């Protein structure tokens, strides 16, 4: 251990004080002080419970999450807030220290909660106050630079995604001659919603025949290797004729995350769940690829958003899809448009991959700096 550093239990360094509930009538959107829940600011109020800047530790729900507070604040009863001897310890040093300790791993129960005595028993290495302040100065400066770099990478990532969406919209809004208006139902042989497993009381098993849901569709790919539910062979034979997709079918997710699409390219035995539509294109009128881009354009333009219904979860109905008016060029032009869109999608996905790698690298750098700081090597 580096000279001047001491190994101490967290209970010797800080105390976790209980937060307090706040009546709804005391919560004001434009209040002077922040109200903190287990995972950050939840509200505002004109009252404060503690008048010194501190650290919030999630006690229930998002247990173990760490947030730095403003100088005056109200901690809700799902939180702890930190008190300590500021003649011995630096607030931001303790904040950085706690972020390295993976406190969420201590959470237990159906609604995860943390016992503060377990937090107190965690062991840390701590230097004298001047060294804490030196380390904080280095970390603050480095993390400011990382935050700026992350903000730029996230903006570039969003710009890359927006660039493709903008081009997609322009293809369908700046149409050439010969495009005709037609209802979407008129270019599909079939438009089927997936199996309502709850209504049909289908049981799920650890193995058997897969049934895919929204979460199994990502970037146009059907993922059958993880997070899959299975049905028994008996149910499979009952439902396969209606709900088994065929090569060329186009998927459209209609509940929750609306508008994810994919084209079936491989003949495999699986069914689709209620939260997915499968559309079978009339090949003499429209290609699967052009149909997929048409559905994406309708979604990104906000067409379905304006029509969505539902209470807690929005959804798109078969009628909404069937009656959607689309514009259709001839098959040759469809193929040319798809080729250009495919090329642009590949380019933007490459850019997105670069920016995601940069974000991952920045997060790795941040963790590395924290590790060096609390190993006494900074």
DSSP symbol at 26: G
Separation of alpha carbons 18 and 300, rounded Å: 46
| Structure token digits, residue 340 | 């250009």
Q: Are residues 156 and 266 in the same domain?
A: no
Report the predicted TM-score, pTM, of the whole model to 2 decimal places.
Answer: 0.74
CATH number of the domain encompassing residue 239: 3.90.220.20
Asked if 320 and 364 count as a contact pair (C-beta separation under 8 A), the reply is no
Share of the chain above pLDDT 90, in %: 83
Tokens describing residue 1: 């251990």
| Section 285-294 average pLDDT | 96
Residues 256 and 271 in one domain: yes
Same domain, 294 and 253: yes
DSSP H/E element including 268 = none
Model confidence at 21, pLDDT cuts 50, 70, 90, reads very high
Tokens encoding 279: 């559309």
Report pLDDT digits (tens) over 58-80. 999 999 999 999 999 999 999 99
Q: Is residue 1 part of a domain?
A: no
- Note whether 312 and 206 are same-domain residues: yes
User: Is there a domain that residue 14 lies in?
Assistant: yes
Regarding whether 77 and 216 lie in a shared domain, the answer is: no
Please indicate, yes or no, whether residues 210 and 293 belong to a single structural domain of this protein: yes
CA atoms within 13 A on the CB side of 156: 17
What domain range includes position 359?
131-171+331-378
Alpha helices per DSSP H over 227-287:
233-243
List helix spans (H) across the chain: 10-13, 91-99, 116-120, 129-173, 233-243, 288-300, 303-307, 318-322, 331-373
- Could you give the C-alpha distances from 372 to 60, 89, 144, 148, 156, in angstroms and in order? 31, 19, 17, 21, 30
Q: Would you call 248 helix, strand, or coil by DSSP?
A: coil
Query: C-alpha angle 199/201/204, rounded to 5°?
Result: 125
**314 and 248 belong to one structural domain:** yes
Q: What confidence score (pLDDT) does residue 306 get?
A: 81
CB 299 within 8 A of CB 258: yes
What is the per-residue pLDDT across 314-361, written as a single tens digit (0 to 9) for each?
788 899 999 999 999 999 999 999 999 999 999 999 999 999 999 999
Are 158 and 233 within one domain? Answer: no
- Residue 344, CB-side half-sphere exposure with 13 Å CA sphere: 17
Pick from 181, 180, 168, 193: nearest CA to 279:
193
Is residue 90 located within the same domain as residue 141?
no
Final residue belonging to a domain, choices 61, 92, 127: 127
Considering the domain architecture, whether residues 347 and 227 belong to the same structural domain is answered as no
Do 306 and 372 lie in one domain? The reply is no
Is the residue at 353 inside a domain? Answer: yes
How many domains does the structure of the chain reveal? 3
Q: Are residues 303 and 336 in the same domain?
A: no
In a domain, 287, yes or no: yes
Cβ count within 10 A of residue 304: 22
Is the pLDDT at 310 greater than 60? The verdict is no
3-state secondary structure of 56: strand
**Helices and strands in the chain, H and E counts:** 9, 20
- Choosing from 127, 143, 163, the residue where a domain stops is 127
């Amino acid at each position: 251990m580096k000279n001047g550093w001491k190994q101490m239990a967290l209970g010797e360094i800080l105390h976790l004080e209980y937060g307090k509930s706040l009546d709804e009538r005391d919560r004001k959107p434009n209040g002077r002080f922040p109200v903190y829940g287990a995972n950050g600011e939840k509200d505002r109020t004109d009252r404060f419970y503690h008048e010194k800047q501190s650290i919030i530790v999630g006690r229930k729900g998002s247990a173990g999450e760490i947030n730095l507070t403003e100088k005056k604040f109200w901690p809700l009863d799902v939180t702890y807030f930190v008190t300590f001897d500021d003649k011995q310890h630096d607030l931001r040093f303790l904040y950085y220290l706690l972020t390295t300790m993976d406190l969420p791993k201590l959470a237990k129960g159906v609604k995860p909660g943390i016992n503060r005595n377990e937090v107190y028993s965690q062991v840390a290495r701590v230097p004298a106050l001047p060294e804490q302040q030196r380390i904080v100065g280095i970390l603050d400066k480095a993390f400011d630079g990382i935050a700026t770099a992350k903000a730029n990478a996230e903006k570039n990532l969003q710009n890359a995604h927006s660039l493709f969406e903008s081009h997609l919209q322009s293809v369908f809004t700046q149409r050439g001659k010969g495009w005709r208006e037609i209802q979407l139902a008129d270019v599909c042989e079939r438009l089927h919603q997936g199996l309502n497993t709850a209504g049909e009381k289908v049981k799920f098993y650890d193995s058997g025949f897969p049934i895919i849901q929204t979460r199994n569709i990502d970037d146009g790919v059907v993922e059958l290797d993880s997070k899959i539910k299975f049905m028994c062979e008996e149910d499979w034979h009952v439902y396969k004729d209606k709900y088994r997709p065929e090569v060329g079918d186009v998927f459209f997710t209609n509940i929750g995350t609306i508008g994810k699409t994919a084209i079936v390219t491989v003949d495999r035995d699986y069914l689709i769940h209620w939260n997915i539509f499968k559309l079978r294109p009339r090949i003499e009128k429209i290609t699967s690829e052009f149909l997929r881009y048409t559905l994406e354009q309708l979604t990104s333009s906000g067409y379905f958003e304006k029509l969505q219904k539902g209470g807690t979860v929005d959804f798109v109905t078969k009628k909404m899809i069937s009656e959607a008016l689309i514009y259709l060029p001839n098959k040759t032009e469809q193929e040319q448009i798809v080729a250009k869109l495919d090329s642009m999608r590949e380019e933007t996905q490459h850019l997105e991959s670069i920016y995601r790698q940069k974000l991952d690298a920045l997060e790795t750098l941040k963790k590395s700096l924290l590790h060096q700081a609390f190993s006494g090597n900074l």
